[in-house]
């Protein structure tokens, strides 16, 4: 087992290893000794596969629990479902001392974290990520959210979990397409911070050692969150590939997975950086080759104007400039503020 300590405003450990769901009862007892009941939030894909593994240790530790099951998919990440979870928690008589458990991927983790932040002005929650994407990114760092009709993650809060238990056994039931989608975030982390990890992935392809690579990615995220928990500076680096990626994802009508869109966004920004003389030409060559080795797309045929309209709508939230995360070399990137025209011309060079 690997443990990564996250020194956030509320510190916690991320534990990564086989069979960790089996320690859930003890974890709740130790971290939340006053808890009289848990609320397990899951979805209708993960629940049938993994709920029993979470329920057994809770029962063995004599911790009563209630289960709320969401329909799977991003469409469930809504304010309506959030209120439904809160009403359910109230109907099940959860108190301020009780604990929410997020058993699932990014959608379940995000909405459960926000429900925990809101219920009775904040209760403890534990993340139990079952996808690679949740393991390496969304379960760590305390970003919680639901989507609004106007956009993704527009309603949310920073609310750190009490712990993250990443049971790598859960990855065994993950469909290959979802696993590869999560790999886009692993490759993103390597381009951002870790030339050694990038070289390792070039050797192993998707057969990399799950536990050690997840721990390595979480350790990089720890360094960012420790410095900029509330996303006012360095944490923006984690958006590598996401500025165009979100636009590509939306233009596809969400036919592309988040990871596929991030892969395209990362590839485009690397090609654009090289064409603009901001990184050596070998960077996009290696990034394109690695993404393709993981079966991830590196190009989009979405119309340029549509992509730019969506991409630059981000700018409204950031003031006059858009912060584009640009590679300087494999393992080091920087956020470059660009005016609208400059950002559009920059991306065009990489498409
Ligand atoms: N997923 C990006 C962040 O946690 O900031």
**Alpha-carbon span 91 to 89, nearest angstrom:** 5
* Residues 334-349, mean pLDDT to the nearest whole number: 93
- Does residue 185 line the site of ligand 1, with CB under 6 A? no
Q: Which of 149, 173, 197 is the last residue of a domain?
A: 173
Same domain, 71 and 207: no
Q: Burial level of 231, CB count in 10 A (0-12/13-18/19+)? A: middle
- Identify the band that residue 320 occupies on the pLDDT scale cut at 50, 70 and 90: confident
* Residues 301-315, mean pLDDT to the nearest whole number: 85
**Alpha-carbon span 184 to 182, nearest angstrom:** 5
Residue 27's CATH number: 3.40.50.1970
For residue 235, the ligand 1 atom closest to its alpha carbon is 5
Same domain, 168 and 182: no
Q: Which of 127, 158, 173 is the last residue of a domain?
A: 173
From 230, 239, 265, mutation site for ligand 1 pocket: most ligand atoms within 8 A of C-beta: 239
The domain in which residue 97 lies consists of 2-173
**Which residue's CA is the nearest one to ligand 1's atom 2?**
238
Query: 63: CA distance to ligand 1 center in Å?
Result: 32
For the whole model, what pTM was predicted?
Answer: 0.95
Same domain, 92 and 182: no
Query: 31: CA distance to ligand 1 center in Å?
Result: 25
**Alpha-carbon span 147 to 91, nearest angstrom:** 25
- Identify the band that residue 226 occupies on the pLDDT scale cut at 50, 70 and 90: very high
- Identify the band that residue 117 occupies on the pLDDT scale cut at 50, 70 and 90: very high
- Does residue 244 line the site of ligand 1, with CB under 6 A? no
Query: 68: CA distance to ligand 1 center in Å?
Result: 26
What pLDDT does residue 314 have? 66
Same domain, 34 and 120: yes
């Amino acid at each position: 087992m690997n443990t990564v300590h996250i020194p956030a405003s509320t510190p916690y450990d991320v534990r990564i290893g086989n069979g960790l769901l089996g320690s859930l009862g003890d974890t709740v007892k130790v971290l939340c000794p006053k808890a009289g009941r848990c609320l397990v939030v899951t979805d209708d894909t993960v629940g049938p596969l993994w709920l029993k593994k979470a329920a057994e240790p809770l029962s063995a530790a004599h911790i009563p629990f209630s289960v709320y099951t969401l329909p799977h998919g991003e469409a469930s990440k809504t304010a309506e479902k959030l209120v439904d979870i809160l009403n359910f928690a109230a109907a099940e008589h959860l108190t301020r001392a009780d604990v929410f458990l997020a058993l699932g991927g990014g959608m379940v983790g995000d909405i459960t974290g926000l429900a925990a932040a809101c219920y009775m002005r904040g209760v403890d929650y534990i993340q139990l990520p079952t996808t690679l994407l949740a393991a390496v990114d969304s379960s760590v760092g305390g970003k919680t959210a639901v989507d609004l009709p106007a956009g993704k993650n527009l309603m949310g809060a920073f609310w750190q979990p009490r712990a993250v238990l990443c049971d790598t056994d859960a990855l065994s039931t993950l469909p290959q397409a979802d696993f590869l989608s999560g790999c886009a975030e692993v490759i993103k982390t390597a381009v951002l911070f870790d030339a050694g990890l990038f070289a390792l992935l070039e050797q192993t392809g998707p057969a990399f050692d799950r536990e050690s690579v997840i721990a390595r990615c979480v350790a990089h995220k720890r360094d960012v969150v420790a410095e900029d928990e509330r996303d006012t500076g360095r944490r923006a680096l984690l958006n590598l590939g996401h500025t165009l990626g979100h636009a590509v994802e939306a233009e596809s009508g969400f036919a592309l997975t988040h990871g596929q869109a991030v892969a395209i966004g990362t590839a485009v920004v690397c090609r654009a950086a090289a064409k603009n003389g901001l990184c050596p030409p070998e960077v996009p060559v290696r990034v394109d080759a690695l993404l393709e080795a993981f079966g991830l797309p590196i190009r989009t045929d979405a119309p340029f104007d549509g992509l730019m309209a969506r991409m630059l709508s981000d700018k409204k939230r950031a003031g006059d400039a858009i912060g584009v995360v640009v590679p300087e070399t494999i393992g080091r990137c920087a956020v470059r503020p660009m005016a609208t025209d400059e950002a559009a011309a920059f991306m065009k060079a990489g498409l």
